[in-house]
Structure 1
Amino acid sequence: MPWWFFRRHSRNTTPASTSAQPSSGWQPGEIALPRLQGPRRYLHDQPYLLPKDLGEVNRLDFQHYVLRAILRGNYLAPIQQPRRILDVGCGTGQWAFELAQQFPQAEVVGLDLELVKAPASPPPNYRFVQGDILHGLPFDNDSFDFVHQRLLVLAIPLAAWPSAVRELARITAPGGWVELVEVSIHISDLISPAGPANEQFVSLLGQLSALRGIDSEGMVMRSLDQYLVQAGLINIQRHSIQVPIGDWAGHIGALSALDIREGWKAISAPLAARFHLPEQDILQLIDRAGQEWNELHSCGTFTVAYGQKPVRP
């Protein structure tokens, strides 16, 4: 299915202090991924498990349209007319481009480790900033009316999540909103019901994730609202959304399955290298897992949580 199928016609000039900046619980080179010689490109100085290459660009764009169809929009927070919007971990920038078009009066900023896709004609009110949430965000306090971050569970180690969300709150303006969208890579949340092939693949993924400090037990997804509370936000809402996976569920199910399958394939090389398995065995395991989705009528879950920064008296 092509990606376009879903298209709808006082200033503090430094980040938070070093003690307040996110602590990843993982150091570059500590348990680095092998330098693979295959066609995929991975970051070796980050805990991030997915590749950074053209194949992943295409999948991320496709995933954006799948999520937009599921949510029936690009966000759930009750924002009004924001003046400045930030997308942390913006990936291809597609979410930010659409927000820039929806709010032409706003400045929209996309932040990521690197620019993965140079847009041919970006909206005039959009700009890209290179940065890393694990090292603190390069923005003033109270800078943005809407701060959005989604699907970084494979990029932010578990130990870093509370301080990372505090950093998002720091740069949010009083009265502004922070929205987090996440999944879990724990089998009961990711695929349910799950057959043996799904359980085996997710077990391998969980072991590799745990080696890099990444949450493999579903703690992040279950704690999003608590992170927002700890960051001092109010009016917090949490929505758990179940998504069918597989052709058995029609249009959305087929597209969700394709997104998951391609995401799992993108991690097949690191899994094969870490566990000394032929990559073809991993790919066959993914194929069997896809068959189980249809046989068992499997579903997955993701969570959206948002909160508002209090207005100072």
Structure 2
Amino acid sequence: MGNRISRHKKSKSSTSQSSLSNTARLPTKRENKSSLSSFNDRPSITRGESEREKLVEVLQTSRVIDGRVFQMANERYLIPCDDQEKNRLQMQHDLMKEIWKGNFSSPIHEKLKKGGIRVLDTGCGTGTWTLDMANKYPVSTFLGVDIIEMFPTNMRPPNAGFLQYNILNGLPFPNETFDFVYQRFLWAAFTQKQWIQLIDDFRRVTKTDGWIELMEFDVEIYNPGPIAKKLSDAVQKHLTSNGINPKIRSRIPKIMANTNNLESIQTLETITPLGNWRQTPQGIKALKDIAATLKSLQVALKAVLGVDNYEYKEMLEQFIIEGSKYRMYIKTFRFLARKQEYFD
């Protein structure tokens, strides 16, 4: 594991004294996107409502390709948003929590435990991280935000809420709102320019002495077999063709360093085997997770590779065999930064 720490002096940036009220608020569909309403006032589809209404809503915001459902708001992000993807994300969450021995690395555990802390989870997906954290820290408040509604609309702890919103439009919160801003695995979603804008927006809504933590994959597979190499290269080619930097994880620390008022910048790294060549349960789970991720990318990658569905399935089967044979492994990273108080 690597651990780099750097400090940077920054120029002054303006902040607002506005903040969320003690009762957290979320925008409803009828309110302006920058307004806030109660965590629990979002309506949910019940069995008594028309299934046709739900289907119409899905068709208006999504598209179906090869039997998988994809969101339409960010067409660069060609990863599904269906039940199969929800299961993959749950498996991935459990794996990353096990590998990293926790849900986060920023030094905020004691503050979360004490309570009164506000946490933002951007790109929350199914809300698994948000719900896990809310259950562990019941006296702090957690808000998950995602471009599409994959998160639960009911049956959640009272200190957790969710908002459907495109964060590329600018976070709809006042300056200095959150004590901790977290984001995980959006390597396939944003251009480098958008990353710069987003990290600056994360800084804006983070309180002084608050923390920002971004967790990312390295899309490269190390010690790859021949099929793994083809798949890895296809992922990188697909990202590049959509204006996305496949090596963005190597740029994030510099982007943080160039963002006003961020200091104590750290890069943490873990190496995880793919397969059972180290005889660890994490290796078997990680191989399954990467194979499932490649399955989710099938629509995009089979076009890059020039193969059909059957041939792509065979490639995934061979990929799983190569994991232990070639002693393949992956790297994941956590990037941490603290928002400092500015002094002239």
TM-score over 0.5 for the alignment?
yes
Q: What residue is the counterpart of 2:84 in the other structure?
A: 55
Q: Which amino acid aligns with 1:253?
A: G
Alignment of 1:52-91 (within 5 A): 52-79=81-108, 80-82=110-112, 83-91=117-125
- 1:227 & 1:62 partners in 2: Cα distance? 30
Q: What residue is the counterpart of 2:157 in the other structure?
A: 123
- 1:273 & 1:299 partners in 2: Cα distance? 26
Deviations 1:212-262 (A, max 9, x none): 11222x1x1112222222223111111111111112232000000111001
Q: Which amino acid aligns with 2:190?
A: I
8 Å CA contact retained: 2:234, 2:304: no
How far the C-alpha of 1:44 sits from its partner, in A, is 3.1
Alignment of 1:166-205 (within 5 A): 166-185=200-219, 190-205=220-235
How far the C-alpha of 1:86 sits from its partner, in A, is 0.5
- 1:172 & 1:311 partners in 2: Cα distance? 11
- 2:175 & 2:125 partners in 1: Cα distance? 24
Q: Which runs of 4+ in 1 moved over 6 A?
A: 12-15
Structure 2 residue matching 1:231: 3-state secondary structure: coil
Q: What residue is the counterpart of 1:97 in the other structure?
A: 131
Q: What residue is the counterpart of 1:283 in the other structure?
A: 313
Residue among 208, 212, 233 paired with 2:238: 208
TM-score by length of 1: 0.84
8 Å CA contact retained: 1:245, 1:300: yes
Q: What residue is the counterpart of 2:50 in the other structure?
A: none
* Match status 1:263 vs 2:293: yes
Q: What residue is the counterpart of 2:266 in the other structure?
A: 237
- 1:36 & 1:116 partners in 2: Cα distance? 16
8 Å CA contact retained: 1:57, 1:117: no
Structure 1 residue matching 2:70: 3-state secondary structure: coil
Structure 2 residue matching 1:129: 3-state secondary structure: strand
Aligned length in residues? 280
How far the C-alpha of 1:274 sits from its partner, in A, is 5.3
Cα RMSD for the two superposed structures: 2.0
Name the CA shift for 1:274/1:191 in 2 (closer, same or farther; >3 Å): closer
- 1:92 & 1:71 partners in 2: Cα distance? 20
8 Å CA contact retained: 1:162, 1:230: no
Deviations 1:68-96 (A, max 9, x none): 00010000000131410000011111111
Which runs of no fewer than 5 residues in structure 2 stay unpaired? 1-16, 21-32, 35-62
8 Å CA contact retained: 2:221, 2:232: no
8 Å CA contact retained: 1:221, 1:302: no
How far the C-alpha of 1:99 sits from its partner, in A, is 1.4
8 Å CA contact retained: 1:111, 1:131: yes
Q: Which amino acid aligns with 2:87?
A: N
TM-score by length of 2: 0.77
| Identity rate, percent | 28
Q: What residue is the counterpart of 1:23 in the other structure?
A: none
Q: What residue is the counterpart of 1:111 in the other structure?
A: 145
8 Å CA contact retained: 1:159, 1:213: no
Which runs of no fewer than 5 residues in structure 1 stay unpaired? 1-9, 16-34
Greater C-alpha radius of gyration: 2
8 Å CA contact retained: 2:71, 2:148: no
